[in-house]
Amino acid sequence: MRINFLNGIGQFMIVVAAMATCSHASADGDIDLSQWTMKWNDEFDYSNDDLDKNWISQNGPTENEWVLSSRWRDNAVVKDGVLYLLSKKESRGGQDWTTGNVWTKETFGYGYYEARMKYAGAYGTNNSFWLWPKQGVGEGDKACEIDINEGHFPNIINTNVHNWTDTYTLPSGRVTHDDDQLHHTLHGSPDHKVDLKRPVYTRKVRLTSNNPASIHVSEFRVVAAEPGEGYSKGDNLAVLEGTDIETNGVFEELPSKSVYAIDGRENTRWVSKKHGPKWLELSWDKEVPVSQIEFRNGWLQEYGASKGEYRNLISDYNIEYHDGSQWVSVAKYHAKEVADYSEQWHRYGLEWDEDYFRFYFDGELFYEMRNNVCFSDTTILLSLAILKADIAGPVTEAIDGTSMKVDWVRYYTKRQ
C-alpha cells in the first residue's frame, strides 16, 4: 500500500510505504471445525427482549479504576441479527459515559470459543470478548481471566491471561499479579518511508502519535539530501555526533532507552511510555538538509505460532519538521487505511485445554501459550468500555454513538 500525501501549500509530495501483511499462520495452523462439535451458540436472531434469556447485563457503575463508563442493559441492543453494545456521552451512575456489557447465564469449560465482531470506530474504546468465572471461584481454583481479545481501534488485538489469585507486591509497593498481555497487529508493515519531493533545511524533526500502546522504534533515520560538514549525501543524520533526542519517556518494564531509536542497531529499540501521547524529536545545532525520513517499528516475535512476525505496529503518526518558527507536517499515517476492524467483520477465537491457550484470527492461529492457571469452568462475556489514561487511545467526542457489534458467539468441544 502506497499512500500519497500533499501538504496544504503544495510544497512536498510524501510517499509512505506501509505494506499490509497478514501472514500470521500457515494452513497447518488453521482451526479445523470438522473436528469439533458446537455445544452452544447465540446468533442473535431474535428480538431485543429475548437477549435476557441467554445473557445477564450490568446495570450500574463500573468499579474498575481504568473504566470511565457505567454499563446498562439499555446499551445492549439486538437488532437485525446483531448485538450492538452502544457508547453514549451521558452522565449516569456517577460516570460520564455509558456502554454495554453482557455475560452468559451458562458456564463453559475447555473447548473452542469464537465470536464474529466489529470494533467501535473510535480511539478510547475497549472491545472485549473474554472469559471470567462470574459464577464464582471454587475452592482451590484460581481466579482466571482469559481475554480472547480486548480490541482497540483501528486494528489492535489484545490477548491476555490473568492469574488474579496469586498476587505479589513490587518494590514500589504496588500489588500486582501474573499476566501475559500482548498487543498484536496482524495487518501492516514495520517499515515506513517518507520521501520529500524537495529537500527541507531544518534543525528539528519529530514524530508524534496517539498510538494506544507503547511505540517500539528500532531505527529512526533522517537522510541527508546533500553533503555537509561531517556527512555525505545519503548519510543518516540521526547518528551524527551531537544529535539530541527527546521522547515522551520509556516503558520501564523493558530494557529501553530513547537513544536506542538512533543507535544504528536493529537489535535494540526505544519503547515509549505506555499511556498518553507519544513523541520522538531529533535536533541539531545547525540546519541539516533532509530528503527522506524512515523508521522501523514494532517488535519481532521470536517464538510460538507467529515467530518472525512483527507486533505492536504503530497505529498513527504525524511527521513534522521545524521551519524556524513553527512545526510543518510532511506526512500523516493512520492504520485504519490498512485495516479497520470497526468496518470489517472478523472472527476472534480461542482453543483452550489443560495444556495450552491458542488464539485465532479468522480461523488462523497467531499466538499460543502454555496453560498453568486456568482449569475450572467460566463464563463468556462481551463488553464495551471506555478507558482512561489513553490506554486505548485518546477519549474524545468521536466515541459518542459508536458501538461494538457481535454477529454471533459459538462454543465447541473436541470430538472424541
Region 101-123 average pLDDT: 98
pLDDT for 260 beyond 90 = yes
Res 410 pLDDT > 70? yes
Question: What confidence tens digit (pLDDT) does each residue in 304-340 have?
Answer: 777 888 999 999 999 999 999 999 999 999 999 999 9
CA nearest 130: which of 151, 100, 155, 152? 151
**pLDDT score of 18:** 45
**How does residue 22 score in pLDDT terms, banded at 50, 70 and 90?**
very low
416 has a pLDDT exceeding 60: yes
* pLDDT at position 318: 98
Measure the CA–CA gap between 159 and 152, rounded to whole angstroms. 11
Bond from prior residue into 154 cis (ω within 30 degrees of 0):
yes
**Nearest one of 81, 117, 77 to 101, comparing CA atoms:** 77
CA atoms within 13 A on the CB side of 376: 16
This prediction has a pTM of 0.90
Residue 342 corresponds to which cell in the numbers above?
A: 470497526
Grade residue 28 by pLDDT with cuts at 50, 70 and 90: low
Of residues 174 and 395, which shows the higher confidence score? 395
**Residues 132 and 416: beta-carbon distance below 8 Å:** no
107-132 mean pLDDT = 98
Rounded to 10 degrees, the C-alpha dihedral 364/131/40/33 comes to 20
* 207-249: pLDDT as tens digits: 999 999 999 999 999 999 999 999 999 999 999 999 999 999 9
What proportion of the chain, given as a percentage, has pLDDT over 70? Answer: 93
Domains of the chain by range and CATH? Answer: 2-23+189-337 (no CATH), 34-183+343-414 (2.60.120.200)
DSSP string, 126-177: EEEEEEE-TT-PPTT---EEEEEEEEBTTTBEEEEEEEEEEEEE-TTS-EEE
- As a whole number of angstroms, the distance between CA 237 and CA 229 comes to 11
pLDDT computed for residue 396 by the predictor:
97
pLDDT given for residue 114 in this prediction: 98
Alpha-carbon 342 to chain mean position: 13
User: Which pLDDT band holds residue 26 (cuts at 50, 70, 90)?
Assistant: very low
**pLDDT at residue 12 above 50?**
no
pLDDT band at 412 (very low <50, low <70, confident <90, very high): very high
Tell me what pLDDT residue 4 has. 37
